[in-house]
Amino acid sequence: MSSLSVRELIDSHYQPLFRYAYRLSGSSADAEDLTQETFGKAIQRLAQLRQAERVKPWLFRILRNEYLRRVRDDRRHRLTPLEQLGEIPQPAADPPADIDPATLQAVLNELDETFRTPLILYYFEDFSYRDIAEQMDLPIGTVMSRLARAKAHLRAKLSPPADASANGRHPPDGF
């Protein structure tokens, strides 16, 4: 592939790839490394890409595999499988209009990667359940289950707690 095409590849995808890498790793420096490594591998494997329109999920898959390779033996972070979280309290309200990005990242960081990845990919707009299932080599039903639990966990963590309604606030009209 010509230099121009490689530049087009980078220009088209480096920003979403970096953002994905950042949400996966929680670190800007790690995200840079991951993104650089992803493009390096992609350039070497371009001949393997059969369908040009699938380049975005292909790049995302390379990046995720590189991330998993790096953290395989890294247990610096205590990750919480959702099964151990128990009952998630129902929030009284939806997440606020302005969600704090640092709070969002903190919630993502505490999740195991098997729940974090489908959550991130879901909110990177273009990824359907089918796309996520392909990314993770999982049955679509498993993706649905993990995403449902991860979304509920995320919304509960980002929303005010249920007992906020007891602090002198009036209940919504109609209740």
Partner 1 sequence: MGFSVDCHLSRLMLAFRRSDLTAEDAASLDAHLGGCAACSAAARREIAVDSRIASAMTAVPVPTGFRERLVRSAEGVQRVAWRRRVAARAGWAALAAAVLVGFAGYAWWTKPTLDSYAAGNEFDRQIEYANADVPAWLKDRGLPEQLPFDFDFRMPTFTGTGQLHGRDVPVIMLVNGPHVARVFIARESAFHIQPDKLIDAQTSRCKATIARQGGFVYVVLYTSDTLDVFLKPPGQKA
Q: How far is the CB of 159 from partner 1 (least distance, A)?
A: 9
Residues 51-60: contacts with CB within 8 Å, 24+ apart? 55/9, 55/13, 56/13, 56/16, 56/126, 57/127, 57/131, 57/134, 57/135, 59/13, 59/17, 60/17, 60/20, 60/121, 60/135
Beta bridge partners of 111: 80
Output 44 or 84, the one with its CB closest to partner 1: 44
**Distance in angstroms (rounded) separating the CA atoms of residues 119 and 122:** 5
DSSP structure class, residue 124: S
Give me the residues that bind partner 1 (CB under 8 A), please: 3, 6-7, 10-11, 14-16, 18-19, 22-23, 27-30, 32-33, 35-36, 39-40, 43-44, 70, 74, 94-97, 99-101, 104, 120, 123-125, 128-130, 144, 148, 154-155, 158
Output 105 or 168, the one with its CB closest to partner 1: 105
Answer for the pair 67, 138: CB distance below 8 angstroms, yes or no: no
Q: Where are the beta strands (DSSP E) in the chain?
A: none
Q: How far is the CB of 38 from partner 1 (least distance, A)?
A: 10
Q: How far is the CB of 99 from partner 1 (least distance, A)?
A: 4
Output 16 or 160, the one with its CB closest to partner 1: 16
Q: How far is the CB of 168 from partner 1 (least distance, A)?
A: 25
Output 9 or 82, the one with its CB closest to partner 1: 9
